[in-house]
Amino acid sequence: MKKLLASTALVGALVITSTSFAETKFGGNVENTWTSKSSKTTTVAEDATDQIGTDIEITMSHKIALSNGWTATVSAAIDESGEDRTNSIENGMAISRSYVQLSNGSGLTLQIGSEGIQGAEIYPIPTVADISSDIGAAGSTQEYADSINDTNALGIALATGFGTIEALWAPDSGSGKDNGDANINNRTTGAGVEVGYKFAALDGALTGGLGYSKQNNENDVTTHGQEKYRAASVQYNFGSVKVGAGRLLSNAAGTNAEAADNTVTTDSFGITFAASDDLSLGIQYKESSSDLAAWASDEEVTTLQAAYNFVGIG
């Protein structure tokens, strides 16, 4: 009953303080891709695979101006990235982001939800479809941080004259973004915090960013490890051609007893070419290495992509 009263009070407050301005938008896209992947490690010979894929996204955004000068935004989207791939459920669409934001018009944004403020999740290179670590069998390492923006978190962003500073905090860094009401009885991970910095220069042609993320394991004696990510990237847009490079340092969450360095270094490079308004071509390359004694082999992955946008929705 308390939950119902709290929800009713919040809706009432938004209605009372709103002005006459409100805007609701629906949109999305359908994109078909052809991906050719080549990979090898120091212990496995080079192999290659090809695959045709379809990316469908449907978006909704509602924006309303409040009487105190702030703007409230409610946004949500569904696509294949919201699927439960951990449990091999890949035959449908699910929530890929949902958040509520309050912005004051002077560069300050507050948020609760997922996949709005990106924090330390920085895609280091330009792509025309999925980045290689999001493609099945395209290597075992990733180019971008496992960010807590993939879970429901509190966020803040401040846009300044020298770039945008972002921060996220989640009480449970592993709760996920497609959960219903919070279920704290089965909590398995601890809190997470991350910060990110993004910049744009030369009229937006030069962009880049830095990110740091730290996520705690469940708070007990044997698994009190911390998962850490440090990311950096830079990209340049020549017009129809974009190039970029990035580095990610990953530390898996181990135990207190582990003394070995378990940092994995992943360097990535990418270039895309917009052949027309709808057709794009791209190539990605990444290589990963580690000084961890148990690291089996270094890894190299090359991905060729072509994407055609047949139709927009909305």
The per-residue pLDDT for range 162-200, each reduced to its tens digit, is: 899 999 998 877 766 655 555 555 555 678 899 999 999
Indicate left, alpha or beta for 30 from its phi (over 0: left) and psi (-120 to 50: alpha).
beta
Give residue 184's pLDDT: 56
Tokens representing 299 are: 């890894």
Whole-angstrom distance, CA of residue 66 vs CA of residue 101: 12
Identity of the residue numbered 178: D
The per-residue pLDDT for range 69-114, each reduced to its tens digit, is: 899 999 988 876 555 444 444 556 777 788 999 999 899 999 999 8
Give residue 53's pLDDT: 72
Mean pLDDT is lowest, of 173-187, 226-240, 265-279, for 173-187
- In terms of Cα–Cα distance, which of 75, 81, 82 is closest to 117? 75
Domain CATH for 36:
2.40.160
Question: Taking the alpha carbons of 187, 189, 193, 196 in that order, is the dihedral positive or negative?
Answer: negative
Tokens representing 40 are: 């090898």
Give residue 24's pLDDT: 84
Q: Which of 45-59, 153-167, 177-191, 240-254 has the highest mean pLDDT?
A: 153-167
The alpha carbon of residue 233 and the mean position of all alpha carbons in its chain are separated, in whole angstroms, by: 14
Q: Let me know if 295 is exposed, middle or buried by CB neighbors in 10 A (0-12, 13-18, 19+).
A: middle
Number of folded domains in the chain? 1
Residues in the chain: 314
Tokens representing 228 are: 């850490």
Question: Taking the alpha carbons of 264, 131, 210, 168 in that order, is the dihedral positive or negative?
Answer: negative
Contact assessment for residue 111 and residue 101, using Cβ atoms and an 8 Å cutoff: yes
Parallel/antiparallel/unpaired status of strands 206-217 and 226-237: antiparallel
Instruction: Enumerate long-range contacts of 203-208, CB under 8 Å, 24 or more apart.
Output: 204/237, 205/236, 205/237, 205/238, 206/234, 206/235, 206/236, 206/237, 207/234, 207/235, 207/236, 207/237, 208/232, 208/233, 208/234, 208/235
| pTM of this structure | 0.74
Tokens representing 41 are: 């490690």
Q: What single DSSP character describes residue 201?
A: E
Whole-angstrom distance, CA of residue 196 vs CA of residue 193: 11
Q: Which domain holds residue 283?
A: 2-313
Tokens representing 247 are: 């580095």
Give residue 123's pLDDT: 86
Contact assessment for residue 213 and residue 229, using Cβ atoms and an 8 Å cutoff: yes
Q: Average pLDDT, stretch 236-265? A: 77
The per-residue pLDDT for range 191-204, each reduced to its tens digit, is: 889 999 999 999 98
Residue 277's pLDDT band, with cuts at 50, 70 and 90, is confident
Q: Average pLDDT, stretch 248-264? A: 63
CA distances to 50, 215, 224, 257 from 221, rounded to whole Å, are 46, 16, 6, 10
Give residue 37's pLDDT: 65
Tokens representing 238 are: 């020549």
Give residue 3's pLDDT: 34
